[in-house]
Structure 1
Amino acid sequence: MRVVPKLALYLLFFMGVVSCQSQQGNAIKRIDKQTLKEDVIGKDVQLLDVRTPGEYKAGHIEGAVNFDLSKPSNFLKQLEELDKDRPVYLYCLVGSRSDYAAKVLEEQGFTKIFDYSGGYADWVRD
């Protein structure tokens, strides 16, 4: 059995996202803190924190589940647990990783993706 090097997995993951960029946009919507508070907090939604487990443990938005984007194969496997037709809300620290994750979800067939572009840094700021 041949093991694919980690770098090759990252490259395949990245190429898959880049190849679909011209098709993106319809399923992804950027949201702000107020929208997250009104539409997500205290509700039964799919809220993903795409930061590392260490970042998640240091603090996260209530109700969020940690899907570590830095491990592409695990991230894709975790996505299989979600309902592609229900809204998915994403956030990271400042918005870069969640933007990337939103593109991955769209490529994987998710139809309602909401990216909290302010991220956790915005969430904890008053």
Structure 2
Amino acid sequence: LEESHKFAKLLDTMIPVPLDAPLVTRMHITTIINELRKLNCTSILISELIDESKGLSRDTITEFLVDGVIVLTLDETMDIRRMKIRKMRGTRHTLTPQSMEITSQGLRIKKDVI
């Protein structure tokens, strides 16, 4: 547990990831992901998308290195948050966006009523 805590602190100091050279960025992110895999833990990497981006992460590299990508969106006109699983290795999943809400207990998937 002590080592995990130290590694979490290390990750905080590594952000932001350098975005100047794609090869450097890829090596940096690969190192982080490999170290997390050595800990044999479930890890959540959070990235933001730039509007009209063609990639699934700001650096457009991370989505190729991770096992899963979940995209969260907000429709402000309808006041609806949605999540869509874009990639999840080793399992079947729906491609349909799911309505969700963020509560004090976490994320709650809602049944869509059409």
What TM-score range do you get, normalising by the shorter chain?
0.3 to 0.5
TM-score (norm 1): 0.30
TM-score (norm 2): 0.32
Q: Bigger radius of gyration, 1 or 2? A: 2
Higher normalized strand content (fraction of residues): 2
